[in-house]
Chain A
Amino acid sequence: EIVLTQSPGTLSLSPGERTTLFCRASQSVSSNSLAWYRQKPGQAPRLLIYGASNRATGIPDRFSGSGSGTDFTLTISRLEPEDFAVYYCQHYGSSPITFGQGTRLEIK
């Protein structure tokens, strides 16, 4: 089973700032099968990025993903109020699927 470790656990930032979230895998993720989600309180997760760097349908270009092998990042270029939420990475290259423990992005 691939273990995903996200860092930092919590980020306190202001709207308009830029930030980068990290996701490290315990072993190489095949074919860059890595996705990112944003989850707001009381809602289902929303897909942001798949294939490590491909934006999902309807996701604005302030979100970008990069990385390969064991190290992946999600960058938000300019934080909007709706971006203050919890972010999860997920690998899907092999069974079982696993998720990272999440990074909470809070308003400073």
Chain B
Amino acid sequence: QVQLVESGGGVVQPGRSLRVSCAASGFTFSNYGIHWVRQAPGKGLEWVGVIGNDGDVQYYADSVKGRFTISRDNSKNTLYLQMNNLRAEDTAVYYCAKEPQKYRGPWYFQDWGQGTLVSVSS
């Protein structure tokens, strides 16, 4: 079955960088767009961005545009989120989530990872 496993979270100082990963299995990774969604402690869900199935297209939320970059390695079935110039307000659990249909699928999410916590603090 579909599995998405995030890793790489931790504590990082403001202004520094961190890269988190999402390892996928149980489906043909290269056929699906994948999203990042985050959730600050005790708060609601916030969409971060998406990368198309072959990596050619990315869209980002305004709150992270210019600081975060989503990439993927289809040969390794892995998605990445490179976060630069981190701020306290980026503190959240970061989830990767898979689109339900191949290629340019609708942007709702049947499959989610368990999340990885990123804490930005001095």
Contacts and interface: CB of A to CB of B under 8 A. Distances in A.
Contacts of B35: 97
A92 B106 contact: yes
B88 interface: no
B112 A96 contact: no
Given A88-B44, A90-B45, A98-B47, A50 B62 contact: no
A44 B112 contact: yes
Contacts of B107: 33, 92, 95, 97
B122 interface: no
B28 to A, nearest CB: 18
A45 B108 contact: no
Contact of B59 (A47, A56, A90, A95): A95
Interface of A: 33, 35, 37, 39, 43-47, 50, 56-57, 88, 90, 92, 95-102
Interface of B: 35, 44-47, 59, 61-62, 95, 100, 106-110, 112-115
7 contacts: A50-B108, A57-B110, A90-B45, A92-B106, A92-B107, A97-B35, A99-B44
